């Protein structure tokens, strides 16, 4: 059985995990990481903290971590199809 403090901490962490979802944008095929970052930055007006990519099958997912103008950290995923054939 969890102690009250541990239970409260566990509930707080569970709530944080469920509310920290990434927003997703669908981009045209062949979109580059730089283009994805520019698109997210224009849409949010925030500052880019980090950007990376992962390839899943024919799709490329760009993850852009932003600091919003109101001080919140937000992750936006930009999904596009690769132009390369497998």
Contact predicate 79/54, CB 8 Å: no
Q: What does the block give as tokens for 13?
A: 């962490």
71 assigned to some structural domain: yes
Q: In the predicted model, is pLDDT for residue 18 greater than 50? A: no
Q: What is the rounded average pLDDT of the residues 9-26?
A: 60
pLDDT tens, position by position, 36-84: 999 999 998 999 999 999 999 999 999 999 999 999 999 999 999 987 7
Print the domain residue range for 65: 22-81
Q: What is the CATH number of the domain that holds 51?
A: 3.30.360
Instruction: Tell me how many domains the chain contains.
Output: 1
Residue 86, CA distances (Å) to 52, 53, 58, 83 in order? 22, 18, 8, 10
- Residue 76 is predicted with a pLDDT of 95
Q: How far apart are CA 60 and CA 63, in angstroms?
A: 10
């Amino acid at each position: 059985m969890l102690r009250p403090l541990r239970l409260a901490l566990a509930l707080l962490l569970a709530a944080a995990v469920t509310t920290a979802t990434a927003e997703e944008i669908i981009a045209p095929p062949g979109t580059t990481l730089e283009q994805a970052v520019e698109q997210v930055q224009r849409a949010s007006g925030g500052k880019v903290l980090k950007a990376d990519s992962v390839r899943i099958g024919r799709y490329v997912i760009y993850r852009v971590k932003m600091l919003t103008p109101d001080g919140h950290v937000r992750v936006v995923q930009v999904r596009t199809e690769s132009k390369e054939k497998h």
